Amino acid sequence: MWRQALRRVVRGVLDLFYPPLCLLCGADLDHHESLVCSACLARLPLIGPSSCPRCSRPLHSPNGHAHLCGPCRLTARPVLDRVVACGEFRAGLRQLIHLFKYRRCQCLAPLLGNLLAQRCLTTQAYCDLDWLAPIPLHWMRQRWRGFNQARELARYVSLASGIPLLPRSALRRVRRTTPQVRLTAAGRAANVAGAFALSSPHLVRGTRVALVDDVLTTGATSSECARVLLRAGASAVRLFVLAR
């Protein structure tokens, strides 16, 4: 109890000399704001109702919300039955994800995790779901970063939805891979082939699983993870991501 009180006093004194600033625009934060100011939050490029119902790709036609996007219309049986994305990987959302992932700002986990949880709630993406499975990092990369950003996001989605996290040891990255960001689309698929293993297939047999990740680019990593789960008998795999 006294520790919490002491922490509040120290925080109050520090705020007096070093007022907290918005991570995106550098403006002073009001007492009700945390990490990012309200104006910057309102400017995040979040995906609106006019988006593909299967993959969340923004559609730019006024009546677009009822239709699948072009690439989805050409894919009869996708590996991921649905992709739910919060926003587009640009502007402030891109900056926040970079701070979270590459500058190791773990303090952004509640803000970003709750953003994703809220998006999943409004798009009714939790229906019939049994597990949340964060895309695993290789242990060496996780040691470097100090945390797995996908697991941090999934923790907040789990708290908001009540859907349990697949145990950490169940789905593992068994091979170290080159960071996908440095590769072409074809190179990405080859890079992650055989990179994941499921140690407890009985856990996912007959269940619906949502993979959780920070960014979707070509989908090579999430598709490879989904294939491992489907081979073990998962009945459906979807993907929740912050940005695409």
Given the rule CB under 5 A, which residues bind Zn ion?
22, 24-25, 37, 40, 52, 54-55, 57, 69, 72
Least Å distance, CB 95 to Zn ion, is 10
C-beta of 208 vs 244, nearer to Zn ion: 244
Instruction: Please tell me the distance from the alpha carbon of residue 238 to that of residue 211, in angstroms, as a whole number.
Output: 6
Least Å distance, CB 51 to Zn ion, is 8
C-beta of 69 vs 160, nearer to Zn ion: 69
C-beta of 81 vs 130, nearer to Zn ion: 81
Least Å distance, CB 160 to Zn ion, is 25
C-beta of 43 vs 172, nearer to Zn ion: 43
C-beta of 55 vs 85, nearer to Zn ion: 55
Question: Any idea what the Cα angle at residue 149 is, between residues 224 and 82, rounded to 5°?
Answer: 45
Instruction: Please tell me the distance from the alpha carbon of residue 31 to that of residue 165, in angstroms, as a whole number.
Output: 33
Least Å distance, CB 24 to Zn ion, is 5
Least Å distance, CB 199 to Zn ion, is 33
